[in-house]
Structure 1
Amino acid sequence: MDDCLKLLKGEKDEQKFAGLLLATRLCQGNDDASVRKIYDAVGFSFLNRLLRTGLGKGGDTEEREDYLKLAVTVLATFCRLPEVASSTDMLSTVPLILEILRKRSDPSLIVECYECLLLIGSASQDGPRMLFDSGAITVLSSHISILPDGSLAVEVSMRLLLLILNELPLDMIILQNSEELAHIVVAVARPFGLLHSALKFDALHLLSAILSFHHMEPLHQSLISRSSDSTWGNYIGVGITAVLQNRVGSAEKIEALILAESMINIFGESWLVSTMNLPDAAETVPADRCLLLVLETSRIEIAVLLNELAYLKYEASKDSTVYSSSQGLFLKQRNLAMAYSLMEKIIKLISSLFESEGISISEGTLIKAMSGISETISLVFDFLQDAKEHGQRKGDDLLASVRIIGSFLAETPFAMGERVGELLDFILSVEGEAEESSLYSICFLLPMLCQTTTEVKVCKTLLISGAHKLVIKFLVDFIRQNNQLDVDKIGTLFFACETVINILVKVDDIQILVDVVDLVPLLQAFAALSVSGNKDGDSSIIMMASSICILVLGITSEDALTRLGIDEFVYDRVCQLILWSLEMCRQGKPWKLLESELDLGKVVTEGYICCASRFPHIKQAVERSVNLQHLRI
């Protein structure tokens, strides 16, 4: 060691070079003290010059390759010391090391370069940013697809990528490197699918880290453009299946579910039941295995997370110290939302499979899957019941729970009727953490409500509980906020209108008085909507709006509405809606009305006949119409 230090402190470069060669033999194992002595003796300046000479930046020499290998080996040794790796001097070598990786292909040199970058990057807060700014992701993406499966180089490169992804804002990385990240996902899919070593989990961590970000449109687009080649998607499916069918921790299961959801977003729900044939795999994964494993794991995680969240919110919250120090609350809510989202996609998939012909999944498997989903939905109802008993109506986890129930009941509207009846008024009032109303909860349940309100019993439940007022308020607010209706919002309007029509049509059968005060805003809202419409607009909207208006008029009178503040402007617009629908029904063929629209036309016609005597303003307008002389009363 003394001879080595004398050489390193020598004045000539030849002495220092010889000293470094000797140092590589002396610094074995974890002898950090000797490494520190050698670093202090040689200093950074000579090492930096040696590195630059090896790259061809310090003059022409035939021994350049030897200089480069020695410089990288010694650099990797010195970076074992955190205080050295975190220094400004070492950070300045990052661009040089990346340049080596761009220009050299020697496997041992590549591994040592990766190790240097990993040690420097993890030694200080500035390390990950220096790696990113110097183009590390671009370099790694070009390497990772050609590195040998299971090699040390693959392992270190994955850890290096994870370091950058975990320490820097993912939106910034995706914005600048979406193509490179997409290339990495496709390349890492193969070892994730085929390997049966710890490296499989490194690949899982990396893939889930890349694909877990919600605002990742550029990356998704890059991956979708590669979806025509399904091989990489099959590798990931096989990898997910292997992880979920083995004994792994909850964290790994969550990561596998995150990955599954991302793949569905890219390939569609059918990816879950595709036959995953791999050119180099020992066996083919059955078409239903991935679906059943993802579903069962989601169910287990949902059950666990609901229990833990209920405890944190209602039991641990009694002890403010426990609650405030619970760092995992947000993470649990995020994981619950992800598991819910997966189950929603599975519900949608199973519903479509029941209606498909020639599918590779047996009906028994689908029934088993739906049975499992039903059991989980029952737990979600329990979670909401708990929230109701504790007076909690606000929370993103509660809103997500309402959404999954809405998705389930949209496909099986009359399932769990008793539970729905008990909690309907509460569920319709649930708000998200940042929301000022229960608009989203109502929106999630509308597909179910528009189907179940065809039954008198359900309408009676709504009226007795007062939940119908929430639906009416939703419809009024929705119309006011969306006066110019986009195509993607028409469906929500139809669901809400059908629900209100079903309730109003059955008022007489239920024999429960509806306060007209609650209905007046509907007339005002539809009057405002019709201002921007015309008879050449969507016939379905006109028929639904006029049906609701005539049903509201059917339980009151013109004088009563005037006392409640309905002015001439509203009368004119409501009258115009009713006239349009009556004329469309009378003219028939030119409008090519659907059967459902003709049914609504009957509601308007019969409603007008019943209430015309109480609404002289509307009666006069109808009788002035040339096309409606048959309705003169």
Structure 2
Amino acid sequence: MAQSPGLDDCLKLLKGERDEQRLAGLLLATKFCNGDDHASIRRVYEAVGARFLDRLLRTGMGEGAMGGKGGEDRDAYLQLSVTLLAAICRVSDIASSKEMVSTVPLILEVMCKRSHGSHPSVIEESYEFLFLVVVASEEGQQTFYEAGGISMLASNMPSLSDGSHSMELAMKLVQLILSKESLGNIYSEYSSELTSIVSTIARQFALLHNALKFEALHLLSAILSSKYAVPLHDALRLMSDGNWAAYIRTGVVDILQNRVSAVDKFTALVLAESLTSTLGETWLIDERNLPDEKSPFPVERCLLLLLESSRVEVAVLLNELAYLKYEAASSSSSTPEAIPLKQRNLAITFSLIERIIKLVSNLSDTKGDSIGERTIIKVIAGLNETVDVVLEFLKDAKDHGQKKGDDLLASVRLIGSYLAEAPFACKEKVLNLLEYMLSVEGDDESSPSYSICFLLPMLCQITMEVGGCKALALSGGHKSVLQFLVKAIGMNSSVEDSNTIFLACDTIMNFLLKRLEIQARLDRSDAVQLLRALAYWTGPSHIFEVQCCPTEPLC
């Protein structure tokens, strides 16, 4: 490819013997290293050499002298060297070279020491250089991480302009490091730094209305929903400045109330679930106003949007799961690998709905006025409809003879959470499915246990009335609860939660107190098992009492 005279003149200067000639050549070279003309970039790099660029950079950092001028023009040298480094690294094999990788710590030092005093273009081109080197090779990524790249990002990102190209590159660097490094180590070693990074990205998520907003959404979701993020969650809870959480809530509302892709909407749900897990369900109705917010949205908007979006997602996921499990299972187009993904997504939406249930319950208990009665009524109506959809999913599973599955167990848990607050809701459907729900097992269970745990708060309440005891007896549920209690407190006890044990005890006690009215009884063998388990639970000294106890009919 023929080169213009200008480039030829530039190359002659770059090959000169004196530093002044080469510096003049570098100033010209900046014109030829723009864009994607990799051939010109490569010729410039070969002419100037990595060693001269290193000298120029170090002089700009104050570590050396060039051209006999000592410390003069250091800022100009620094800007020139960073500009050239960023330009030549557009050629990927140059970016992955050991010379460029070894320059990463120097650039990090520049950004840490001079981030506030340097010209904005120096910072932007430093980010460009780092991004190009990190993305070009594993060695570049590893060097960036080991040389303190995360610490640099944590200290530098808050000073970047909102929505700037530097901010975009910084976020891409965060994404690259999280995708390639050991997440367990990152979260344990850099939890404090990650709080600063999360706060900065959260601000972008709230304030921007361009493609970078969605980058922030997906990055925040990935950071906060990781199974390794517990140290980060702990650190975020200790932050005195809670604006980061308010920024995320604002961003989530923006996503959910506008027309965006289904993927983006679900990612917003994942992010919201992470926030409620970290800060509690009151995050949904926090009344904090942001300094940048000209017209804050009503306090209940986030709650209502999340409930509605979660309800839609639950209905879609349950319908798709039912189809995949019962209709498409025998067809050649069936994709079994899709089921676990949908089950994981279902767990996230269920978790959000359970958080909303807990929030409404607490608001009712405290008679708080942060949201109005009309909003609470609307939320309860939505929850009722969703519970009805979940009950239909369980009925479908029952009709197909399915009792085992984490999605079924999660459905029972959601039903149990709601019925714990409203034990007589959807009464007819619940009673018709009670025996089945008590028999549901998770994928890793050998016999029903968790399903009974989830339903005990409701069972304890309904058995305070004769009608509830009759319903329990008709379904055989009293036997399930009794066997659960025996296993929970017997010699090979499997339950450590004392509250669950007390709920089971209260349920059985309610049943026994009303056994004459409902004309029901325990089998003698069941009664003996229960008494032996109670004796073991209360201590060895009671074994003799059990063996000699009067036989006034428990059964």
User: What TM-score does the superposition give when structure 1 sets the normalisation length?
Assistant: 0.78
User: How far did residue 108 of structure 1 move?
Assistant: 1.0
**For residues 284 and 125 of structure 1, do their structure 2 counterparts lie closer, same or farther at Cα, with a shift above 3 Å needed?**
same
1:342-370, Cα deviation, whole Å (9 max, x unpaired): 11111111122223335032212111111
Equivalent positions of 1:449-468 (< 5 A) are 449-468=459-478
Q: 2:543 matched to which residue of 1?
A: 570
1:180-238, Cα deviation, whole Å (9 max, x unpaired): 11122233333332333333223322322221124433222221122x54433333222
1:113-167, Cα deviation, whole Å (9 max, x unpaired): 1111112222234444332222111111111222222222222212221222233
Equivalent positions of 1:426-445 (< 5 A) are 426-445=436-455
User: How far did residue 13 of structure 1 move?
Assistant: 4.7
**For residues 189 and 480 of structure 1, do their structure 2 counterparts lie closer, same or farther at Cα, with a shift above 3 Å needed?**
same
Q: Does 1:219 align with 2:192?
A: no
> How many residues matched?
542
User: How far did residue 246 of structure 1 move?
Assistant: 0.9
**For residues 115 and 433 of structure 1, do their structure 2 counterparts lie closer, same or farther at Cα, with a shift above 3 Å needed?**
farther
- Give the conservation status (yes or no) of the 8 Å contact 1:523–1:574: no
The aligned amino acid for 1:70 is L
Equivalent positions of 1:135-154 (< 5 A) are 135-154=148-167
Q: Please give the secondary structure, in 2, of the residue aligned with 1:430.
A: coil
**For residues 332 and 10 of structure 1, do their structure 2 counterparts lie closer, same or farther at Cα, with a shift above 3 Å needed?**
farther
User: How far did residue 611 of structure 1 move?
Assistant: 5.5
The structure 2 residue matched to 1:257, chosen from 269, 284, 287, is: 269
Q: Does 1:524 align with 2:532?
A: yes
1:21-49, Cα deviation, whole Å (9 max, x unpaired): 32211123222232233334444343334
- Give the conservation status (yes or no) of the 8 Å contact 1:149–1:191: yes
Q: CA RMSD in A?
A: 2.9
The structure 2 residue matched to 1:23, chosen from 22, 29, 33, is: 29
Q: 1:115 matched to which residue of 2?
A: 128
The structure 1 residue matched to 2:223, chosen from 210, 216, 220, is: 210
CA distance in 1, matches of 2:333, 2:134: 36
**For residues 42 and 484 of structure 1, do their structure 2 counterparts lie closer, same or farther at Cα, with a shift above 3 Å needed?**
same
CA distance in 2, matches of 1:298, 1:408: 15
Q: Does 1:191 align with 2:210?
A: no
User: How far did residue 329 of structure 1 move?
Assistant: 4.1
**For residues 391 and 89 of structure 1, do their structure 2 counterparts lie closer, same or farther at Cα, with a shift above 3 Å needed?**
farther
CA distance in 1, matches of 2:272, 2:102: 40
CA distance in 1, matches of 2:137, 2:441: 42
CA distance in 2, matches of 1:16, 1:322: 66
- Give the conservation status (yes or no) of the 8 Å contact 2:439–2:451: yes
Q: Which runs of 5+ in 1 are unaligned?
A: 535-568, 579-607, 615-633
The aligned amino acid for 2:41 is V
- Give the conservation status (yes or no) of the 8 Å contact 1:276–1:285: no
- Give the conservation status (yes or no) of the 8 Å contact 2:487–2:493: no
**For residues 47 and 278 of structure 1, do their structure 2 counterparts lie closer, same or farther at Cα, with a shift above 3 Å needed?**
same
Q: 2:79 matched to which residue of 1?
A: 69
Q: 1:586 matched to which residue of 2?
A: none
1:589-614, Cα deviation, whole Å (9 max, x unpaired): xxxxxxxxxxxxxxxxxxx69469x9
**For residues 96 and 314 of structure 1, do their structure 2 counterparts lie closer, same or farther at Cα, with a shift above 3 Å needed?**
farther
Say which one has the larger Rg.
1
Q: 1:96 matched to which residue of 2?
A: 106
User: How far did residue 16 of structure 1 move?
Assistant: 4.1
The percent identity for this pair of structures is 53
The aligned amino acid for 2:307 is L
Q: Does 1:245 align with 2:257?
A: yes
1:518-575, Cα deviation, whole Å (9 max, x unpaired): 333222211211117x9xxxxxxxxxxxxxxxxxxxxxxxxxxxxxxxxxx7343576
Q: 1:285 matched to which residue of 2?
A: 297
The structure 1 residue matched to 2:425, chosen from 411, 415, 426, is: 415
CA distance in 1, matches of 2:310, 2:495: 37
Q: Please give the secondary structure, in 1, of the residue aligned with 2:190.
A: helix
The aligned amino acid for 1:352 is N
CA distance in 2, matches of 1:515, 1:484: 23
**For residues 68 and 196 of structure 1, do their structure 2 counterparts lie closer, same or farther at Cα, with a shift above 3 Å needed?**
same
Larger displacement relative to structure 2 (80-89 or 287-296) = 80-89
User: How far did residue 286 of structure 1 move?
Assistant: 1.1
1:41-73, Cα deviation, whole Å (9 max, x unpaired): 444343334333433444555344333222221
CA distance in 2, matches of 1:52, 1:392: 69
1:356-403, Cα deviation, whole Å (9 max, x unpaired): 335032212111111111111112122222333334333322222111
**For residues 138 and 530 of structure 1, do their structure 2 counterparts lie closer, same or farther at Cα, with a shift above 3 Å needed?**
same
- Give the conservation status (yes or no) of the 8 Å contact 2:33–2:88: no
Q: 2:50 matched to which residue of 1?
A: 44
Larger displacement relative to structure 2 (182-191 or 7-16) = 7-16
Q: Please give the secondary structure, in 2, of the residue aligned with 1:317.
A: coil
Q: Does 1:55 align with 2:61?
A: yes
User: How far did residue 288 of structure 1 move?
Assistant: 1.1
The aligned amino acid for 1:523 is L
